[in-house]
Amino acid sequence: MKMSEKFVETVDKRKNNTSSQSSTIGYGCVALAYFIQIFLSFKKNHWQPKISLSETGAPGLACAISFILSASKIKYDRGKDDVPSFLMNGTLMIYSSLCMLQFSLAAQQITTSFTKFFLGTAIFSFLLNAKEYSSIYKEGFIRGNEHLIPRIHKANLYALPKDLPNMIYFVGMLIVILLKVNLFIPILSASRNAGISLASRGSIVSKVSSLANLSILGGSLVTIRDAANQKYLSQKRFLVLNFFINLLFCSLVGKFIIVFLLSYLSIHRFLNIKIKQQHISKVKRL
């Protein structure tokens, strides 16, 4: 019996090592694919520096997360704490699914090698992340959620911050939620006319793309806030994640702030013109 048990344990260990190695290679391939996607984006725009970070920031963050997951398989003992890997896989699942939705809405535009590569990367990433995401439930759904749900609760928006890093990530998550709502409402209203005009469909595709960028940012903020709660921020993987979160956050939020300021200035100018016209008409009456 002892010999058979040892044999089973040895076989299980080899299976786990083989699975871990294949996942490491898979994550590395996904990270490389996202990196090539960024390279092709710059090439498509003729290497112009004015290309916005919103076009390359989300793939850059996805590339960083995939690389972190690849390194985490080797460097960190996932048996002790699997939650960061679970959150990162979930984030990439949401991002890649929204990318696939974006291309399903714009199926007629999948003609160039760049768009085909973009779609292929999203599909491969989704399949790999879904496989690893489900691994936390290998001991059962209830057992898997016993440790996971309290951690997510403490790292989510409805958990009040208890220190400065938590406060910073809380504010960032709040801004991302507000921007998501600002996008989600126009998507619902525009989807009613999506079958009537191509312009409305193009508007939805653009907003889904922005929603995908905000989703990977929001999921990464939950992951980094969980790391702050567990005192993991000094680990290299979270330092890298923090850097790419800051890049994407500044580019997306900066873009929306500029749009808001321009809208405010145009409305303010319109109101001033109306006030002047009313004043002139009153003077003429006198």
Separation CA 147–CA 193 (nearest Å): 44
Q: In the chain, what's the furthest Cα-to-Cα distance?
A: 109
DSSP for 227-245 reads HHHTT-TTSHHHHHHHHHH
Q: With a threshold of 0.85, does the pTM exceed it?
A: no
* Digit-coded pLDDT (tens) for 82-97: 788 888 999 999 999 9
Q: Report the alpha-carbon angle 13-18-24, nearest 5.
A: 125
- Rounded CA gap, 271 and 174, in Å? 31
Length of the chain, please?
286
pLDDT at position 149, please? 77
| Residues 6+ positions from 229 with CB-CB distance below 8 Å | 151, 154, 155, 166
The C-alpha atoms of residue 268 and residue 262 are separated, in whole angstroms, by: 10
Both tokens assigned to 82: 């699997």
pLDDT in tens, 200-252: 667 778 888 888 988 999 999 999 998 888 888 888 888 889 888 888 887 77
Q: What is the pLDDT of residue 12?
A: 44
Residues in the chain predicted with pLDDT less than 70, given as ranges, are 1-19, 45-55, 73-81, 107-111, 136-147, 190-201, 253-274, 276-277, 279, 282-286
Please tell me the chain's helix, strand, coil percentages from 3-state DSSP, rounded to the nearest 5: 85, 0, 15
Q: Which pLDDT does position 6 carry in this prediction? A: 44
User: What was the pLDDT predicted at 32?
Assistant: 93
